[in-house]
Each structure stands twice: as structure tokens, then as C-alpha cells.
Amino acid sequence: MRLDQYLASATALSRKDAKKAVSTGRVTVEGDICRQANRQVEATQAIYLDGHAIALPGDVYLMMHKPAGVLSATRDSSQPTALDLLPGELAGQVHIAGRLDKDTTGLLLLTSDGQWSHTVTSPRRECRKSYRVWLAEAIPEEACRALEQGVMLNGESTATRPAEVHVQSSQVIDLTIREGRYHQVKRMLAAVGNRVERLHRFRIGPIVLDDSLAPGSFRALTSEEIHSISG
């Protein structure tokens, strides 16, 4: 992490003020004055501002209501990303744990905790993800049974793991899967002769998207939500 980013994350200084503090000799790294704002530093190093030790806060855990048209990416030169929706200094601390397609809305988890993120995304953990799926055509009972048993996706050599299907109406289902293949939900519905018109993720593991979050907004996870994802 850059020294000015470290200062901005660990103190009330803005990035601009952090750069100024470094350039004026107010910051020491391992006992030596450092005037290079772009110096790479580690959290384990002794970093002082005006003679006072500073340290990064604990890990960050967020949920975001991702709107359509936003990429689940750190940065992109031409399109808006989920991290663009965060304040700059916060965006620099986190990564996305479990991406969504550009046109898919709903729950994104973002964190600075790599081990926690691995628990969410590792195929071996089988972390459940639940989606509200709006379909082009009415879904027959036999298609629901096929999804619950596992279907063969185009270009794949193994069938999907059994899914959970809850029918909301003739063209709307809630689908819960335990893996994360490429465009999996859309391809599963294509495998049973249907087409996804709209897709919204509302749950990852035990964590449910907060109904009060408008598209594009975020909040910190509660302690209970954080610990509901076990390592």
C-alpha cells in the first residue's frame, strides 16, 4: 500500500493532506523520515505521524446493492465499477467476494479480509447463493425438477449440482445454487429451454441483502453477519 494511502486509511487525513504531511517530513517509517508519498509500506512496519504511532483499522466488511450496468471489477477505463460507488479511500481497501454480471443486480460482498473472502468464493465451501429470476416464458414443473436434480450446461462435461427452486409465479422463481460457474444461472435456465430476462441476487450464505439499501448504496456488515460466514 502507498504511504499516503496508508495515512489516509489510518487517520482522519484526506489523501491530499496525507501527501502534504509526508512531503513536509511529519512521517517516519521504521525510524526514518520519509518524504515519498508513493513509497510502498506494510501494516507490520512502524509508521509514525508527528511522533505518534499509527495503524490501520481492522478489516472492512461491506454489503452493496449493485445496480445494473455496473461491473464487478476493481477498475475499468471506460465503464463504471462497483468500487467506483465507494469513497476513494474505502475503495482502496477492499475487493469483491463473489462477482455479478454487469446486468445482474443485488447483493455484493466487499472486504479486506482475504481468508473470509476465500470462504465465500471457494467452490469447496459450497457457499449458497440465492437469486430471484425473471423468465421469458412460464417454467413447467418438469423444468424445476431438472434444475433440482442438476442439468448439463452447454460446453460442460459434468452436470450442475442440485439446486433449490421456489416458484414465485409462472415466470418468476427463486433459485439457490452452491457453485459459481460462468454465467451459471442463465445457462441453467437455457438448459431447460427458457431464458433469463432479469436476475437479482438476494442472499450469499446466511447474509441477505438489506431491503433498505437503494441500488448503488452500501453499508458495513454487522458482527453477526460477518461471523455467519465461518472459515
Q: Is 70 exposed, middle or buried (0-12, 13-18, 19+ CB in 10 A)?
A: buried
C-alpha separations of 36 from 39, 56, 208 in Å? 5, 19, 43
For residue 209, being part of any structural domain is answered with no
Using only C-alpha atoms, the chain has a radius of gyration, in whole angstroms, of 22
- The answer to the question of residue 84 being in a domain is yes
**pTM, to two decimals:** 0.76
CATH of the domain at 91: 3.30.70.580
Residue type, 121: T
Same domain for 167 and 111: no
Nearest-angstrom CA–CA distance, 206 and 11: 33
The better pLDDT of the pair 143, 223 is held by: 143
61, pLDDT greater than 60:
yes
Question: Are both 169 and 65 inside the same structural domain?
Answer: no
pLDDT of residue 28: 95
Looking at the predicted structure, is the pLDDT value of residue 25 above 80?
Answer: yes
Span 71-125, pLDDT tens digits: 998 777 789 999 999 988 788 889 999 899 999 999 999 999 888 999 999 888 8
Question: What's the confidence (pLDDT) of residue 10?
Answer: 83
Residue 68, in any domain of the structure = yes
Tell me, yes or no, whether 83 and 191 share the same domain. Answer: no
User: What CATH code is carried by the domain that includes residue 12?
Assistant: 3.10.290.10
Asked if 138 and 193 sit in the same domain, the reply is: yes
pLDDT band at 44; cut points 50, 70, 90: low
Give the span between the Cα atoms of 175 and 128, in whole angstroms: 10
Instruction: List residues bridging with 37 in a β-sheet.
Output: none
If asked whether residues 109 and 161 sit together in one domain, one would say no
Distance CA 204, CA 128 (A): 6
Rama region for 43: left / alpha / beta (φ>0; ψ in -120 to 50; rest): alpha
Report the catalytic residues.
101
Q: How confident is the model at residue 231 (pLDDT cuts 50, 70, 90)?
A: low
Same domain, 139 and 198: yes
Claim to verify: residue 141 and residue 155 sit in the same structural domain: yes
Q: Exposure of 172 by Cβ count < 10 A (0-12 exposed, 13-18 middle, 19+ buried)?
A: middle
The answer on 39 and 69 residing in a single domain is: no
Look up the domain containing 68 and give its range: 61-123+214-228
Our count of domains for the chain comes to 3
Question: Within this chain, do residues 152 and 196 fall inside the same structural domain, yes or no?
Answer: yes
CATH number of the domain residue 187 falls in: 3.30.70.1560
